[in-house]
Every structure is written in C-alpha cells, then in structure tokens.
Structure 1
Amino acid sequence: MSDEILVERDGAVATVVLNKPDSHNAISLAMYQRIPDEFAALDADPEIKVVVVRGAGTKSFASGADISEFEEVRGNATAAKAYNEHVAAAEHAVEGLSKPTIAMVHGYCIGGGCGIALACDLRFADERSRFGITPAKLGLVYSLESTKRLVDVVGPSRSKWILFSGQPVFAEDALRLGLIDELIPADELEDRTYEFARLITTRAQYSVRSAKRIVNVILAGQTEDDDVTTEIRNSSFDTEDYAEGVRSFLEKRSPRFTWS
C-alpha cells in the first residue's frame, strides 16, 4: 500500500489522508488508483459509519493533481484518456460510498483536490481555505460528472465564473456560495469536524444512509417516489432502530441504535 494514501480508524470514524505534504498533497496517479480500493474496504467494514477525507498537515487539503507527472501520464490523448478514467473512478468511489463523507479542508483545495472534496457529502473548511478549479489555466476540460458536482453545489452561473476564470474562491465566498457547509477557525477545524462525524455515528444508520441515497437520486433528476424509494422508506418501519427510536423517545432517554 502506498503511504501517499493513509487510512486511520478511530472507533466508527475512519480518516482517509492525502499524504504528500511536501507538494501540498498534490494527487498523483498512484493515489487516484488507490482510492477506489480503500473506499471499497471502508464501505465493507461494518464498524465504520463515517469517513473524513483530509490532507496531511494544515496547509492544504490538496493542491490539485500532480502536474509534475503530466508529461508522462497525460502526454497525449490516449494516455490522458486512461488517466482521466482513474480520476473518474476515484471520484465515483468517494461519491458512491454508502456512508457519509466529510471533506476537512485546511488551506488550498484546488483542481483535483476540489474534485475529491466535491465528491464528499459535506465540506468543512478553515478560514484560510481557498478553492479553485483551474482547467482554463492548463488548456484542459473538466469532465461532465465533475462539472455537475460543482453545478449541484453552487449553481450554473457561479460554476461558469469559477471555470471560466480559474480564479480562487476564498473561504467567506465559498461559504456564501454553498461550496462549503461550515467555516471554522483553523485551530478548531479538526475538533469540529470529528465532533460532527461522531454525532452522525450516534444516529440511526439506516436513516442516514437512506437519506444519502434519496438525495443522490434527486440530484440525478428523479422527482417522484418509485418502487425503490418507496421500499427504502417503508422498510425503515421494520428495523429494530425504528422500534428503539420510538421506545427511547417515550422513555425520555438517548436511543441506542444497533443497525450498521
């Protein structure tokens, strides 16, 4: 396993660390190739309920794809196609995790780093953070799926501003646009992120994961219940967690959910 991707477990919360601090956690091809396997293992682990994604240190989440590799791994259309497939597979693995994900963003979150952060469910960032998507500075074109994630979060007009200009979006503007969900002082970001992650682990996991599934099908264009979403909802009434939720409410105590 490459030490450029670290996976740490602390109870029901796992952390995936982009671990190249000497290059502001620039994402190498090897890192993109490793991400799907790591996320598949976390999805299969019944002990893990929430995954935090972060960069090593406190200077950067990720400064983008590792451009120093581009002449070798993206030197022509054929090589670029294979490279882009690995990037897409990594982002799909993050986005497709059945469990909630939180990007914890210190400092720079640029290009491919922003792509990974947008594939997470939530983004918590510090007051020094800055975001940018910069294909227009490199003569590249962002994929439709990656662009859609940006549009889903900030809307079409602001997406065009970000993509046309390649300009950075600073923390306060990122919060205003909805690019991040919480803006937190740098020295409090880690505590707040893991506090929220642990809070999610105390909730009914069938409810949490079903909410994620339903939000995602809405983002995919579905506007009415079908047999699948109806079954997801109706099945909740057969879970022990539903019975426990009702009992704990009536008994005026905190619930002890067990579904995983």
Structure 2
Amino acid sequence: MTNLLYVERSESIATVVFNRSDKKNSFSLAMFKQLGELLTELEKDSKVKLLILKGVDETAFSSGADITEFLENRFSAQKAKDYNDATLESIEKLYRFPKPTIALIKTLAIGGGLELANSCDFRFASSGSKLGITAANIGIIYNLVSTKRLVNLIGPTKAKELLYTAKLITAEEGKEIGLVDYIYPLGEIEEKCLEFARQIIRKSSVANNGIKQVIQAIIDGDNEETEEIEKLILESFSSDDYKEGIEAFLEKRKPNFA
C-alpha cells in the first residue's frame, strides 16, 4: 500500500510529503490523524530544525478534505464533531509546532489544504497557483480557529470575501492580501524554498524556536511576559548556542550551531 504521507530528511530539514496526487492530495480522516502522529515524532527529533510541507508532485499542495468521506464520517452533528475534533487536533498541532514551518504550495491549495498552509509560519507558492476555501459551496461553516488564522493573515473584510464567495484566487492575488509570502515559477520554487530554509537552520534553534513561542504568545493576546516566557528567555543565556554565538563573534567567525 502506498504511503499517503511520508517524511524526507535532508540536512536539518524534515519534509512531510502528501502522496495522493490521483486525488489532488485530498486528505482522508486517516491522513489527518497520521499527520498528527508524524508531527509528534518530528517535534521530539532533535536533529530536525525546520519542517516543510509539500505535495509529492506538481498536481497540488492539497485540494482539502476528502469530500467522498463526508456522507459516512460527517453527516450528522455528532459525526461532524468527531471528524472536526480529529482533524483540528492535527491542524492545531501543526500551528503550534515548536520549530519553524513552511508550506510549499504547488498549483493548488483549497479548503483544508489552505487551512494546513495557513497553519505554517511561511507560505511559498508557485506562480499562478489557485487558493481558496470553498465551504460555502457545500453548506458548511468554516471553523473558528482556522477562520481566526485567516483573519490574522488577511483581515476580516478579505476573509469574509474569500469565505462568502468561495472563489479561488491566484497566488499573486494572495500575495497582495498577505495570504502568500513568496511566489516563484514552478521550476524554481523548491530550490528557492530550500535556500530560505537553509538561512533559518544555520541560525540558533534555541533563538528561533524561542522567538516562535514569543510571537505566538503575542498572537494569543499576551501583552507582558508570562513566567513561562521569561524563563524561556533567561534560559537561552545558559545554552550551548549562546556560548557558541558569543565565541564566534569574539573570534570573528560564523557560528556553528549544533
């Protein structure tokens, strides 16, 4: 049986690959659950400094949740709750993943696919890719946590427009409103994404992972340092990365972070 999700590792980068191109990488419930399991493993893997999500080929990043399952798994309030709880658990795990994350979007990111991309720190998209959330086409209400992330990215008016109309926009339109961070031609996007990722992994993971937590605390509404954040910041001063960074600066060389 084909692995519908698998992990590639290179340098300190782990890439979760969506491998269902015949279905435009639509996510079954089992795939959402497997993604959560993979994220748990990668979070614990100290060798992984950064995570990329991508489709296996040019067909799509992901066309979203597999609608063919809905009549069985999502056709009553209780079944919908069970389904939503399971899928949102994995999406939330991605959003709260403690290391930098990048969505590498080729061609298409719709519905749950865009929901996954919006849960990453950065979104790279190939030129002309189509993006959208089409819940209004099938009569369901988009969940609050993912709607909030969309509003945080593009503001309430553009979020309403995208959701009310269920239209697909191009990556170029997405970049104009803040939905996409970087756009490159299809033949260049993988290497451009890796170049960006390498800039990050060459820096201190102690610093970058901590920065991610601080920014997340701000997004979550904190205006002052909590005890947890204060401890996180102060502990960085006794880390091996701090020692290496200071020594490298004094020796006028580039730091070599583990």
| Common topology (TM > 0.5) | yes
Within 1, Cα distance between the matches of 2:34 and 2:66?
15
SS in 2 for 1:62: coil
Task: Give, in whole Å, the separation in 1 of the partners of 2:72 and 2:230.
Answer: 49
In structure 1, runs of 5+ residues without a counterpart are: none
- Tell me by how many angstroms 1:55 deviates: 1.1
Counterpart contact for 1:103–1:120, Cα < 8 Å: yes
1:188 aligns with 2:176: no
CA distance in 2, matches of 1:176, 1:252: 40
Match of 2:13 in 1: 13
Task: Specify the SS of the correspondent of 2:199.
Answer: helix
Following TM superposition, by how much is the alpha carbon of 1:207 offset from its aligned partner in structure 2, in angstroms?
0.4
1:141 partnered with 2:134:
no
- What is the TM-score of this pair, normalised by structure 2? 0.96
CA-based RMSD of the aligned residues comes to: 1.3
Q: Which residue of 2 aligns with 1:82?
A: 82
Task: Quote the offset at 1:59 in angstroms.
Answer: 2.2
What is the identity percentage for the equivalent residue pairs of Structure 1 and Structure 2?
Answer: 38
Give the aligned partner of residue 120 of structure 1. Answer: 120
Helix, strand or coil at the partner of 2:34 = helix
TM-score, scaled to structure 1: 0.96
CA distance in 1, matches of 2:233, 2:252: 25
The corresponding residue for 1:239 is 239
Partner of 1:198: 198
Quote the offset at 1:2 in angstroms. 6.5
CA distance in 1, matches of 2:223, 2:187: 41
1:253 corresponds in structure 2 to 253
Question: Whole-Å Cα distance in 2 between the matches of residues 254 and 188 of structure 1?
Answer: 28
Runs of 4+ with deviation above 4 angstroms: none
Instruction: Find the counterpart in structure 2 of residue 58 from structure 1.
Output: 58
2:103 match: 103
Which whole-Å CA distance do the structure 2 matches of 1:66 and 1:240 have between them?
A: 45
Which deviations, in whole Å up to 9, do the C-alpha atoms of 1:180-233 show, x marking residues without a partner? 111111111000111211221111001000011011111111112222222222
Distance 1:227 1:110 in 2: 39
Structure-1 residue corresponding to 2:213: 213
Is the 1:35–1:93 contact (alpha carbons within 8 Å) kept by the matching residues of 2? no
Correspondence for 2:72: 72
Aligned residues: 258
Task: Tell me what 1:43 maps to.
Answer: 43
Determine the C-alpha separation between the residues in 2 that align with 1:241 and 1:78. 49
